[in-house]
Amino acid sequence: MPSRFEYLFVLLVYLGAGATILWSPLRRLLRTRLFWMSAITFEVLGTIVDLLAIRWGWWSWTAGRVCGLGVLGIPIEEHIGFFIGHMLVVGSWEIVSE
């Protein structure tokens, strides 16, 4: 596998493992408007934090380790990671709260 797809591959493994464990609550959550509103909010906040961290020189991505697609200078993998992280945390919260 080319090194530029490693981050994406790890995210997909993370998604697969989490979604397998949390399938029932995730299936319900993905149908609710509140889940999507919170996902968008989390994405916007994550993007703002990333943009600030990039501007202040706190972190960056090696060009050869990301696939090359990006939004606002942030690799698409990072945006996918925001969504997966949000989805798995909310799914876990649903299980704990039941």
Q: What is residue 50's predicted lDDT score, i.e. its pLDDT? A: 95
Q: What is residue 65's predicted lDDT score, i.e. its pLDDT? A: 87
pLDDT digits (tens, 9 = 90+) for 23-81: 989 999 999 999 999 999 999 999 999 999 999 999 888 888 889 899 999 999 999 99
Whether pLDDT at 98 is above 80? no
Q: What is the DSSP string of 39-70?
A: HHHHHHHHHHHHHHHHHTTS----GGGS-S-E
Is 35:90 a contact under the CB 8 Å cutoff? yes
Whether pLDDT at 1 is above 80? no
